[in-house]
Structures are given as C-alpha cells and as structure tokens.
Amino acid sequence: MFVINETHDSRLTSWVPSANDASCDFSIQNLPFAIFRRSNTDDAFRGGVAIGDQVVDLKLLAETNLLSELAQEAVIACSNSRLNDFMSMGESAWTALRLALSKALRTGSAGQVLMGTCLVPQANIEYSLPCQIGDYTDFYSSIHHATSVGALFRPDNPLLPNYKWVPIGYHGRASSIDVSGQVFHRPCGQTKALDEVEPCLQPCQRLDHELELGIFVGPGNALGKPIPMADAEGHVFGVCLFNDWSARDIQGWEYQPLGPFLAKNFASTVSPWIVTMEALTPYRAPFSHPSDDPQPLPYLSSVENTAQGNISIELEALLQTEKMRAAGEAPERISRSNFIHSYWTIAQMVTHHTVNGCNLRPGDLFGTGTQSGPLPEEAGSMLELSMGGKQTLTLQNGETRTFIEDGDAVVIRGWCKNDNAARVGFGEVVSTVLPARTLG
C-alpha cells in the first residue's frame, strides 16, 4: 500500500486558482487521469490530468521535456489514446509522474510557464473511455445491498450461505461499458409475471441504476500465478465512479441457474476520471468483519488489510427527470452512502479473483457491486429505495418513481475528505435512458 508523502500535504496550493477552492474535486492533492480531446475537433484522444477546472494535456507536456527520467517515460505512455500502457508500468512510474506533476503545479513552481502552455479548460473538452477494457468482473461486495435484495425474494434467509465467506462476482460484458454522457435505449428481453403461464418479450419495466465504484487493474499477472494479499494493491491503478445499469424484471426471470445475462449487458457507465490509489492514501481506514461473522480465510487476510484495507469514499446518487431538465432544475439526490461499508476490500477482490490462477490484464475493470449502507436512505438502487416497487419515491417537483423511466438521467458523484487531508473528488458519471427500440 502507498504511504503518505509530500504530494498529500493539505497545505499545498496550486498556481491554478480553481484548484485551491475547498469544494473543488480536483485539488493538487488529487491529480486524477482521463482520456480527452478538445471538443468539436478531430484531434486524437490523449491522456490528461485534472487540476481545478483545467486539464493538463499530457501529450503536449511530453513534448515540452519539462519532466525527466521515469516521469518523462510515464508521460509519454500517457500520450496515447488509451491509458493501458501507463497502467501497465506499475507503482514506480505512477508515483514518479504524480510527484513531478505535483511539483510543477505547485504555487511558485519553476515549471509554471511551460506547464501553463499545456492546460485546457475542462469546459472545452470531451472524453473517451480511459482505457481498453479487456475484461469486466462485477462483485457483490455490499452486505447491506445483498441483504436488502435477498429479503425481497427470500425473507427468511436473505443471505446465501457463501456470502460471508467468499467475495461473490460474475463475469460481465465489457463492450457495452461507455464513458459518462452515455445515452442508451431501454433494454428489451424476456420477462414473466407470476400470474402468467408463459414469458413474453417486451421492454424492461423495472430499469434500475446501481451506485458503484469501478476498480481499474494496473500490471497483470501470469496465467496460473495467483496474486497474494501482500501484492494485491500493486496491481490496482485506481478507482472511478460506476453505474452498472440493471433490468430487474429481466434479471428475475433469467438469473437462475447461471446468473446475470441480458439484464446486465446492455449498458454500464464509468466516470471519465480515475483517482489513483496513491491519491486515496489519506482516506484509508481499518477493516474487519463483525466478530460474530466468519472471519476471512487466511489467503484473504493480511496485517496491512486489517490496519488500512478500507477506504472512506462518500457516494451519492441523483436523479434528473426529463421534466426537471426542461424546467432547468438540477438533479435531486435520492441516496447517499460510503464505500467504507463494503464487506470486502479491493485487495481481497484482487486476490480472490486470481486465487484459481486467473490472469488479469492492464485496464481490466472490477465493479464493486451496489454500495448500499445500513440505513434506508443509503440504498444504492431503486430496487431497494422502492422496496421492490412497492414504495413510491416522491421527488420535490411532485413526480414519483419506483424505477427509472424514459428520459431520466442518473448522476453519481463521489469524494473523499477528512480533517487532515484536502478534498479528493471523482467528478461525476451521468447517463440517460431513451425509449426502447423494438424488433423489426
């Protein structure tokens, strides 16, 4: 795990004024990565780092030769249209570039003039996926979400016997993952009502968002070589916001016996900015399972994971209906939670994923699963907020929802903050639902 160093110092300020606002997501202590280009151009996409309301164009920065040695090698790798090469370089390169950027962006930096030529306003850019996602695995790491959903279907036994022993996950579809701003059509699929004899093909009636984080893999591992807990986080580049859309009625009919399929592969949305694991260091927290729960098996345990395996990341989901958008009304928050409630840590997900010899590759994505907290208002999906469609959510403008309707946009935001560290934010991920397309 990374340790606190000079780049985390909460007293640091930047010569980019907007980065010094206490409410800014992209402080000099953050420095997250994305792939971008200037809007309305045919420029090639390239790597960028957020600072305040600006982006450091890493392709331009590489051409200035302001950086040197490993930091220069790293910024050249970030000049590509995807970050996979940079992700594969590992901790030493990530740390070298972070430190070099931090020094160049600090108040009083000798590199201010050259660095200033590499800045682009975030208001004038568009994003692409940050990397080529070869494989995608979705975990089920929130015990509160698992219990709430399980109670809807199995009131007497919400959690299946394996939940407290093994980090549950399934292999998902990477091709339908897109970056924030994704607009997609309501999915169609087979559904079957309880009072019907046969299923039918129809548009999803229970479309749902999922309040999640995405975890991007850095260096991979050889096929057949598991990653032990001690090395797990060295294989993780960073974390983003993630909305793994779900068609609950399609899921209810198809998921047994083999799990999610069409209910999960029509759209998933990632935020453009990846916050590195190093930037998250000040927000680490102890990890443990309740004393009366089964304790993790030895391969899922380590001294470091117990001491600081958790990360406190505040999360919120907001909804903006088509009517709200037409009226110029801002999205309305419908829930708020924190990743600290996760039953399994990032390191445990990595280690369990590879314990059978599975090989990870740079740019692979893990979803954490819906991050619900213990309180009703901390539910990370409409399935929970509406109690399976039985309870109506009333918005401030009088509209009601049990599930997501056509024209709705879901916004997910996340940030870290404590008394000893500057705010580190994730920006937001937004996606909007269009009416279904029918066959024919």
Instruction: Please identify every residue annotated as catalytic.
Output: 145
Nearest to 9 by CA among 72, 96, 103: 103
Alpha-helix runs per DSSP H in 154-218: none
What is the signed CA dihedral for 129, 132, 135, 138, rounded to 10 degrees? -20
Please state, in angstroms and rounded to a whole number, the distance separating the CA atoms of residues 240 and 235: 16
- CB of 204 within 8 A of CB of 250? yes
Cβ 253 vs Cβ 192: under 8 Å: yes
Whose tokens are 């946009």? That residue is 409
CA 195 to chain centre: 38
- In whole angstroms, what is the distance from residue 135 CA to residue 366 CA? 9
What CA–CA distance (Å, rounded) separates 10 from 278? 15
DSSP 250: H
Give the separation between CA 313 and CA 327, rounded to whole angstroms. Answer: 32
Backbone CA torsion sign across 384, 135, 347, 3: negative
